[in-house]
Amino acid sequence: MWTVWFAYGAFYFCRTNISAAVPGLKESVDAGGLGLTATQVSYILGATKIAYAAGQLLNGQLSEQVSPRKLLAIGMLGTAVLNVLFGCSTALYFLIFIWACNGYSQSLGWTPCVRVLVNWFPVHRRGKVIGFIGTGYQATAVATFIVSGYAAQAFGWRGALWVPAGIMIAAAAIMLVFLREHPPHQDFVADDIKSQPVATASKNDPRNSVLENFLLTIANPSLWLLGISLGLLNACRYGFLDWGLTHLKEVQETGVGTAALKYAVLPLGAVAGSYIAGWATDRFFGSRRAPVACVLLVTLALLTLVYDSVARASVPATIVLLVCIGFCIYGPQVLLVGTAPADLARRGTSAAAAGFVNCLGYVGAASGDYFTGRALDAYGWERAIFIWAAWALGAAVASGLLWNATADRSTKQV
């Protein structure tokens, strides 16, 4: 569990770091930037989401067939190399291509981790465990904002790409040393929530072909609702992650390093949200994930509505609000991206289900980046942030349709 916590969290060093590079990409050439418009930046940001979505769909199937350690190693080393190449580039279309390739490399992270966790933990512990894993990439996001922000301030926008790449290479080596894909005795016996003995656990069925896993996945209506909810949430989430640091820098008229230090509190709230949301679903809702996700998404919509005005008025209030927004983003996000798909997947398709839901989620994220960029160029920050709030509310509606959905303990793989 700790190795997965660390390994998946490390991916964010070469992913969230783009937010610290965005101000430099928009700055004029005379100021050391590339002079891109917000719409052009949105093409770069959206390309990685589309590639990530496609990669989740494909790698969710591959993760049922291929060693998770191998997939993670390829993804971690690949994203490090691509970050270096991005920092060496200047042409818009080449930047789009490289960052799209980075999106695919990033997609090799989550579904192998889901497969490892499903091999190790039964349904009634999964909410707490995957919630805890969610705290890992929030802790890394805090470090990423600070490291990449000050790297960009010290070395220019390219520093935000190069410094995290070195960290990722070291993280890949650590993962290869410590990760174990399943318990020493795979056919372990689990207890259900009432501590009654149950039959030997069944892992993902290796007899299923990639096509069979895919058909089982897309024929599951619950996964479509999870994917729609995650897509709308991701549109709002990446509004804050990709554009929020630039917004704070501009409206508070501060340096990118200082803005990054303030913005790093958002993942701190997310650490609490990731764990508490998973714990609450197991403790109070009988492992039903949708009620907690729905309530937090409605709260997120309300907080987002007031964010722009608060950011312009008060630095301390902005910091408090960012902590609360982080809590309300990542509480439902960790449920929608990992716990709920693993619960509602049909037998033998947990990683495929997570990949499919995440695919839909990142289609939503790419769309969100595009419409955010267009809204910024046309109307400015206030209108763009109101759109983020509308997306959060739509996500609440979609997740609310699964209010009573839960895993079938008599048939689910653990």
Output DSSP code: residue 152. H
- Residue with the bigger pLDDT between 16 and 61: it is 16
Instruction: Answer whether residue 290 shows pLDDT above 90.
Output: no
Q: Does residue 258 form part of some domain?
A: yes
The pLDDT value recorded for residue 186 is 52
Amino acid at position 377, single letter = D
For helices 290-313 and 315-334, give the axis angle rounded to 10 degrees.
Answer: 160
Mean pLDDT across the stretch 347-367? 82
Q: Does residue 410 form part of some domain?
A: no
Mean pLDDT across the stretch 287-304? 92
Mean pLDDT across the stretch 371-381? 93
Predicted confidence band of residue 181 (pLDDT cuts 50, 70, 90) = confident
The residues that bridge with 189 in the sheet, in sequence order, are 200
Instruction: Answer whether residue 348 shows pLDDT above 80.
Output: no
Please give the model's pTM, rounded to 2 decimal places: 0.77
User: Could you give the number of structural domains in the chain?
Assistant: 1
Predicted confidence band of residue 214 (pLDDT cuts 50, 70, 90) = confident
Instruction: Answer whether residue 260 shows pLDDT above 70.
Output: yes
Q: Does residue 115 form part of some domain?
A: yes
Q: Does residue 162 form part of some domain?
A: yes
Return the residue matching tokens 């804050």. 240
Q: Does residue 198 form part of some domain?
A: no
Mean pLDDT across the stretch 302-324? 94
* Structural domain that includes position 258: 2-180+207-212+221-400
The pLDDT value recorded for residue 408 is 52
Average pLDDT value over all residues in the chain: 85
Which helix H or strand E contains 191, and what residues bound it?
strand 189-191
Q: Does residue 127 form part of some domain?
A: yes
The residues that bridge with 197 in the sheet, in sequence order, are 191
Q: Does residue 200 form part of some domain?
A: no
Q: Measured on CA atoms in the order 126, 127, 132, 134, is the torsion positive or negative?
A: positive
Instruction: Kindly report which listed range (42-51, 197-206, 306-315, 356-365) carries the lowest average pLDDT score.
Output: 197-206
The pLDDT value recorded for residue 279 is 82
CATH code at 384? 1.20.1250.20
Mean pLDDT across the stretch 403-412? 60
The pLDDT value recorded for residue 207 is 52
